[in-house]
């Protein structure tokens, strides 16, 4: 008897366009997604750093939380200030389990006093929506948006290209947004992204996605970019990939995401605690010496790429950690990695060895981002 076949891959509303553009399609988060186009990962990466790249991120989960209690309800799931986020502003958030582990990282936007727009990771969206519904569905409406696509336009010329089609969009600053008509499409635009560059994420009804994508690609600055370059861009920017660099076994403090937890939710703050895993997370924040391991950036001192799951050893040969993401940074032009190491080896400048095919590759703990970010703050 043959083994049951895997579930067929889902497709985004831009699937036919990707194939028309010559994309190499791969399975990702249950979807058939473009990993690269004929130009190749390196060219796509560098084009995004120099001009503007268009990414299909429609596999991501989009949802609305609606009701007078929506912000307070959502805040009860995260160590993040939701209640005080002003209308028109966006923030990074972390869904935690009861042990303080990270269920997912996400972005949320205050659309109105009683409405939040939330974007979660594609591989996690079914579980996330179920978790949110189970925990706060009695307190607010949880409305998934499966009929919406999501495009990201990223790079130093993204604002030039988009403002040509949507005058006024250039006035947005990092982590703000609004509704715009773009080429006849009803778009919700935020000035944000996952590349370290200036840029925008655009939520659009699925039926309008292809028309919007074709209009954007017709702009002289814009080229299509696949998942491969999306990964190398985010790694150079020092940004975590859920499932690699953060997951349910990592707390926000271990993951070096302390910056994402505002003072109002910490010990002594007006709304301290009250989120899943609060005892553990607040204890780690209050006593950094209690944290056994830390996420760090690493640069290889030899030109040998160091991939995820590579063992890390001290110079004395003891195992001290593992690489979670790694590649040769196309803009940085050196092998870079994110990794978890024992806390005593986490200081900037510490030398460690990555064991690549039995050979020790020397690496040094360094600050992230590896490539300076260029978010537009006005």
- Domains in the chain (CATH in brackets) are 15-60+147-225 (3.30.1360.120)
- In sequence order, which residues have a C-beta less than 8 Å from that of residue 225 and are 6 or more positions away? 37, 44, 45, 47, 48, 53, 54, 55, 154
Query: What is the rounded average pLDDT of the residues 117-145?
Result: 98
C-beta separation of 351 from 338 below 8 A: no
Query: What is the rounded average pLDDT of the residues 302-307?
Result: 97
pLDDT above 60: residue 273: yes
Query: What is the rounded average pLDDT of the residues 147-155?
Result: 98
> In the predicted model, what is the mean pLDDT of the chain?
97
Q: Note the pLDDT of residue 224.
A: 98
Give tens-digit pLDDT for 193-226.
999 999 999 999 999 999 999 999 999 999 999 9
Share of the chain above pLDDT 70, in %: 98
Give tens-digit pLDDT for 327-352.
999 999 999 999 999 999 999 999 99
The first and second tokens of residue 340, run together, are 């978890």
pLDDT above 80: residue 55: yes
Residue 351: beta bridge partners? Answer: 364
Q: Note the pLDDT of residue 335.
A: 98
Q: Note the pLDDT of residue 4.
A: 54
pLDDT above 70: residue 256: yes
C-beta separation of 49 from 236 below 8 A: no
Residue 111 CA to residue 119 CA, distance in Å, equals 13
In this structure, what are the phi and psi dihedrals at residue 106, rounded to the nearest 5 degrees? -155, 170
pLDDT above 70: residue 3: no
Q: What angle do CA 326, 332, 337 make, to 5 degrees?
A: 20
Give tens-digit pLDDT for 77-113.
999 999 999 999 999 999 999 999 999 999 999 999 9
pLDDT above 90: residue 286: yes
C-beta separation of 311 from 354 below 8 A: yes
C-beta separation of 169 from 179 below 8 A: no
Residue 149 CA to residue 260 CA, distance in Å, equals 27
Q: Note the pLDDT of residue 7.
A: 81
Q: Note the pLDDT of residue 5.
A: 59
Residue 233 CA to residue 199 CA, distance in Å, equals 13
Give tens-digit pLDDT for 311-329.
999 999 999 999 999 999 9
């Amino acid at each position: 008897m043959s083994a049951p076949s895997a579930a067929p891959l889902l497709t985004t509303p831009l699937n036919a366009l990707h194939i028309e553009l010559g994309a190499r399609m791969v399975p990702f988060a249950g979807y058939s997604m473009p990993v690269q186009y004929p130009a190749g990962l390196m060219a796509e990466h560098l084009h995004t750093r120099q001009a503007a790249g268009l990414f299909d991120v429609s596999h991501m989960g989009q949802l609305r939380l609606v009701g007078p209690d929506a912000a307070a309800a959502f805040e009860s799931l995260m160590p993040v200030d939701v209640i005080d986020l002003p209308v028109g502003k966006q923030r990074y958030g972390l869904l935690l389990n009861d042990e303080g582990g990270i269920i997912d990282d996400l972005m949320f936007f205050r659309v109105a006093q009683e409405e939040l727009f939330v974007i979660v990771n594609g591989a996690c969206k079914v579980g996330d929506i179920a978790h949110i519904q189970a925990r706060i569905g009695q307190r607010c409406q949880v409305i998934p948006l499966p009929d919406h696509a999501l495009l990201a336009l990223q790079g130093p010329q993204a604002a030039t290209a988009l403002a040509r089609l949507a005058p006024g969009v250039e006035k947005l600053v990092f982590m703000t947004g609004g509704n715009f008509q773009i080429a006849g499409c009803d778009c919700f635009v935020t000035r944000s992204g996952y590349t370290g560059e200036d840029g925008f994420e655009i939520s659009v009804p699925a039926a309008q996605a292809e028309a919007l994508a074709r209009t954007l690609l017709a702009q002289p600055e814009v080229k299509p970019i696949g998942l491969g370059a999306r990964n190398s861009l985010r790694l150079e920017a020092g940004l975590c990939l859920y499932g690699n660099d953060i997951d349910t076994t990592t707390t926000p403090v271990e993951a070096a995401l302390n910056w994402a937890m505002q003072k109002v939710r910490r010990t002594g703050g007006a709304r301290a605690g009250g989120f899943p895993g609060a005892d553990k997370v607040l204890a780690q924040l209050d006593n950094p010496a209690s944290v056994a391991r830390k996420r760090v950036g690493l640069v290889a001192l030899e030109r040998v790429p160091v991939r995820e799951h590579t063992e890390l050893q001290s110079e004395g040969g003891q195992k001290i950690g593992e690489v979670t993401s790694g590649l040769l940074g196309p803009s940085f032009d050196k092998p870079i990695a994110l990794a978890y190491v024992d806390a005593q080896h986490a200081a900037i400048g510490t030398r460690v060895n990555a064991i690549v095919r039995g050979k020790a590759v020397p690496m040094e703990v360094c600050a992230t981002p590896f490539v300076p970010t260029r978010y537009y703050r006005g």
